[in-house]
Amino acid sequence: MGYVFDFHDARNYDGWMLKRKNRFAADLESRLMLGMLDPAAGESILDIGCGTGASCLPLLEKGLDVTGIDPSPYMLDILSETLGNRVSLYRGVAEDLPFDDNSFNHACLFTSLEFVDNPQKALEEAFRVAKDRVFIGFLNRYAITGIGRRVRGIFTPTIYNRATFFSVWEIKGMVRKLMGPVPVCWRTVCQLPGPWSTWMKQIEGSGLVQRFPFGTFAGMVVTLLPRFRTRPLAIRYQPKKVGHMAAGTAGCSGMAPSNGFETSHRQSDEKR
């Protein structure tokens, strides 16, 4: 199951999102997700580890049919208060999703893979319930910000003490192990220091900056290919009944074969 956010964690996270700097960073991450996932309005998506709804709201604004699942009832309560009935909510864990195969067009794990016990199983479940694309957003292990968070966690208890950080190559390796050579694309958000303005968003959105592998937040889109299961089928075969043989054939079958002596004897009698 991994770490489940309690009441204080949920409130602290919701308060953290109210700060302008953090909202700016969250907006950059959401832009990256929507730009890479490129969903069409009306399509369905499952937000795995939806939390208090930081990733749900941009999906709703895009016109998607959003379903959220999270193991924390406190997170789901805050999300329900914020978005009401606009999102279908379920309580559950990423490693065991209560949905059928191919139930959604897309699925996303938005900074939720860090808090599960079995990341590979969580990815496998996401690939199972989605039929088009899966977005994986995670905190970069090799980002300067990520290193700083881990160092601060040594001296001060933080939620990041419960998190497992990943690199782009680690996530890509897990995807390849599960799905084989499917199309995979990754980008990052560097969260460069500076004023939080429109031109900063343009810099962060440039292809050159997003291809930097050590950005604070990394996003990866996996395009799912159709996979077919085959099973052997028993073929029922009933031989046709043999019909009656022709009369002439039946008569001939009862005749004894003649030999050469009998034939030559008959011919000599006729000459006499």
List Cα–Cα distances, 76 to 71, 82, 87, 213, 245, in angstroms.
8, 10, 11, 33, 81
Residues of the chain with pLDDT under 70: 1, 146-157, 192-201, 203-205, 227-272
Three-state SS annotation for 89-134? EEECCCCCCCCCCCCEEEEEEECCHHHCCCHHHHHHHHHHHEEEEE
- pLDDT tens digit sequence for 221-264: 999 987 656 566 666 666 666 555 555 554 444 444 444 444 44
Q: What is the pLDDT of residue 211?
A: 80
**pLDDT given for residue 208 in this prediction:** 73
Q: For 166-187, what is each residue's pLDDT tens digit?
A: 999 999 999 999 999 999 999 9
Task: Sketch out the chain's domains with CATH numbers.
Answer: 7-223 (3.40.50.150)
